[in-house]
Structure 1
Amino acid sequence: MHKQISSLQNQAVKELLQLQEKSRARKKQHSFVVEGVREIGLALKGGYRLKKLYYCPDLFSAEELNFVLKETSSEVNISEITQSVYEKIAYRGSTEGLLAIGEAKDLSLQEIELKINNPLILVAEAPEKPGNIGALLRTADAAAVDAVFIANPKTDMFNPNIIRSSVGCVFTQQIATGTTSEIISFLKDRKIGIFGAALQASVPYDSVDFTGASAIVVGTEATGLSEEWLEDSTQNIVIPMQGEIDSMNVSVAAGILIFEAKRQRKFN
């Protein structure tokens, strides 16, 4: 019999809400909240350790819970929560009835392992909207890029909006965060070509050879890439625009550029 939580004043409920709402709490506890069967499954597949599991028996059966537990490699604390508590703490509108607290990973550049000689890396500089970060991670997953780097991040990567909008792809990618300078040094030390999406001194994106070690770098829609990237790029690239505006959503632009690289690599 698992412990049942029925009060919104329970300390566990307060902890869950803190982790969902406050980046400071996530960093201090080195933890995050993940919600839903698919996302929890991807976290486990990505090697994340679950600390606690909460399930609502009205929405999620003990049999389904046992199936999830078979995928875990360590002991995990399990609690039942009532439907009223679940509805208070669930971040999404869906009613799967399962959420967990996971242990965050170190997302420093030092943890990155590039397993091939010509990696394809996506770099996003200072993306502001969690939804855009989630979309970038989904694109990276679809193209099976070798790593995703977030330069000068505006939020932590375990923000529940990122987990939700990435549909759990935040767990399936090799991800690192760092300053623009740190990431440029990492790429240059490994002789990885830097291709910055920019209007200045650029050539059409489909005229560049992406078959060697390549990092495709995108900036914000509002300000583009910082001067540091523009100065250190191997070649700036541009997507020719045929409409009235000169920018597009960053995740759409990243998708076009990454899949051109994959096309050149014959989708290897």
Structure 2
Amino acid sequence: MPSPNPRESRREITGFSNPTVKYLRSLRDKKHRKREGVFLAEGLRLLTDALECGHVPKTLVMASARDPHPLIDALETAVDAAGGDIIVTTPDILGKITGKDNPQAVAGVFDEFDTSLASLDRSAAKIWLVAQALRDPGNLGTMLRTGDAVGAGGLILIDDCADPFSVEAVRASMGAVFTQSVARASWDEFIGWLRQGEGQLVAASLRDAVPYRGAPYAAPCFVMVGNESQGLPEDYEAACDLRVTMPMRGRADSLNAAVAAAVLAYEVLDTLER
């Protein structure tokens, strides 16, 4: 039974050497996140977005020196009702946990989501984003944020991508990690899954490409971008249903991968909504 008063279920931690602090700090490391099946998120807005999407932290960590806020009260009540752990600690210790010199007032530990292709419903959205070998967690988080903005169903990560549940990627997603489905697969797994049903695979490319404006996009449309420095492998591009190109008016020969995905996704959205 949850405590009738959330304050009664709080636990105060004041020492850097506390085992719980060490455990929470370890979640900044991918191998520990994978072993535990959880991830860290920080900030009132991000945790509030999570709560509104039905994700309640297993553990809520709050800074002792913080201003009262009804959204923090709502988080505390939800965690307490779910039987979670509520920890109050110093801002310095919270900074050690999150890896930020100026941490926000709250952080939370969440269960990782099911990232299998089988968990996706391709008919749930007209647009899906796909990233191959994306290495920058900031780019990954930006793609999640873009997916939320265009109403995409989610982000599919192909081959060796950055961890979507790293503190940096979660932070860059601005809460979209809780609104977007995330799946991880090898190229062979992905293309096999895609060809089992409807789905147009589109890539930004220079090989036999048509202008991205006015191209014949069809739903559900899977918009794919490649590695930041190397782009997509040639055989991956060859497997696409449509290859499109975006004009470069200056000296740059390409866009940032996450930016290219956003530009292309909005064009697809415009086409599919006409």
What's the TM-score, normalizing by structure 2? Answer: 0.89
CA distance in 2, matches of 1:171, 1:194: 25
Structure 2: unaligned runs, 5 residues or longer: 1-7
| 1:54-93 equivalences in 2 (<5 Å) | 54-61=61-68, 64-72=71-79, 74-93=82-101
8 Å CA contact retained: 1:23, 1:155: no
Aligned 1:1-268 pairs, distance under 5 A: 1=8, 2-20=10-28, 22-61=29-68, 64-72=71-79, 74-116=82-124, 119-266=126-273
C-alpha deviation, 1:107, in angstroms: 0.8
Give CA-to-partner distance per residue, 1:141-171, whole Å, 9 cap, x none.
1111122111113332110000111112111
Contact 2:155-2:180 within 8 A present in 1 as well: yes
1:10-63 deviation per Cα after TM superposition (whole angstroms, max 9, x unaligned): 00110111001x100000000111111111122233333421111122115386
3-state SS of paired residue (1:132): helix
Note if contact 1:196-1:229 (Cα within 8 Å) is conserved in structure 2: no
CA distance in 2, matches of 1:191, 1:211: 10
161-170 vs 180-189, which moves further: 180-189
CA contact (8 A) 2:200 2:218 kept: no
* Change beyond 3 A, Cα 1:248–1:111: same
CA contact (8 A) 1:45 1:172 kept: no
Call closer, same or farther: CA 1:98–1:60 in 2, change over 3 Å. farther
Amino acid at match of 1:236: R
* Paired AA for residue 46 in structure 1: C
C-alpha displacement of 1:208: 1.5
Shift of 1:129: 0.5
Secondary structure of residue in 2 paired with 1:207: coil
Uncovered stretches (5+) of structure 1, i.e. residues with no partner: none
- Counterpart contact for 1:35–1:91, Cα < 8 Å: no
* Structure 2 counterpart SS, 1:242: coil
TM-score of the aligned structures, taking structure 1 as reference length: 0.91
* Contact 1:48–1:105, Cα closer than 8 Å, also in 2: no
Moved more, 8-17 or 190-199: 190-199
> How many angstroms apart in 2 are the aligned matches of 1:146 and 1:123?
11
**Pair 76,30 (structure 1): closer, same or farther in 2 beyond 3 Å:** same
Name the SS of the counterpart of 1:243 in structure 2: coil
Distance between the aligned counterparts of 1:65 and 1:254, measured in 2? 34
Match of 1:209, SS?
Answer: coil
Q: Report the number of matched residues.
A: 265
8 Å contact from structure 2 (residues 225, 232) kept in 1: yes
Larger displacement relative to structure 2 (146-155 or 8-17): 146-155
Please give the alpha-carbon distance, in whole angstroms, between the structure 1 residues aligned to 2:159 and 2:56.
Answer: 27
The Cα of 1:71 is off from its aligned counterpart by 4.5
Quote the Cα distance in structure 2 between the aligned partners of 1:247 and 1:154.
Answer: 20
Letter in 2 for 1:231: A
C-alpha distance 63-248 of structure 1, shift in aligned 2 (>3 A) = closer
Q: Aligned partners of 1:216 and 1:70: how far apart in 2? A: 40
What is the Cα-based RMSD across aligned positions, in Å? 2.0
Any idea what SS the aligned residue of 2:273 has? coil
Residues 239, 28 of structure 1: CA spacing in aligned structure 2 closer, same or farther, 3 A cutoff?
Answer: same
